[in-house]
């Protein structure tokens, strides 16, 4: 199955504050992906790379940012 990110992709990253999640999120941003939210339970309220809000739950992230795609670490 192929999945393509397009101009309308709004990415939420689960595990954004972990070592792998933060590394690969930064690479996604470098390639132009619109990362709109991150999720790490217990770390809601933080901000990743001074621009991406971190939420405690996926529901909170989707409700606030209208993310339509998720990447899981």
pLDDT 10s digits, 7-32 = 999 999 999 999 999 999 999 999 99
pLDDT for the residue 35: 98
Could you tell me if residue 6 is inside a domain?
no
Burial of 3 (0-12, 13-18, 19+ CB in 10 A): exposed
Expressed as residue numbers, the domain containing 61 is 11-72
Token pair for residue 33?
Answer: 């992906």
Is residue 4 very low, low, confident or very high in pLDDT (cuts 50, 70, 90)?
confident
Could you tell me if residue 5 is inside a domain?
no
For the chain, how many structural domains are there in total? 1
Is residue 2 very low, low, confident or very high in pLDDT (cuts 50, 70, 90)?
low
Q: What is the CATH number of the domain that holds 24?
A: 3.40.50.720
Report the C-alpha gap between 63 and 49 in whole angstroms.
21
Could you tell me if residue 29 is inside a domain?
yes
Could you tell me if residue 4 is inside a domain?
no
pTM for this predicted structure: 0.93
Is residue 5 very low, low, confident or very high in pLDDT (cuts 50, 70, 90)?
confident
């Amino acid at each position: 199955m192929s999945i393509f990110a397009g101009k309308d992709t709004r990415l939420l990253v689960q595990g954004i504050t972990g070592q792998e999640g933060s590394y690969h999120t930064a690479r996604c941003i470098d390639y132009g992906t619109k990362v709109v939210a991150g999720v790490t339970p217990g770390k809601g309220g933080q901000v990743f790379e001074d621009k991406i809000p971190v939420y405690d739950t996926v529901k909170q992230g989707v409700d606030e940012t209208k993310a339509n795609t998720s990447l899981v670490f």
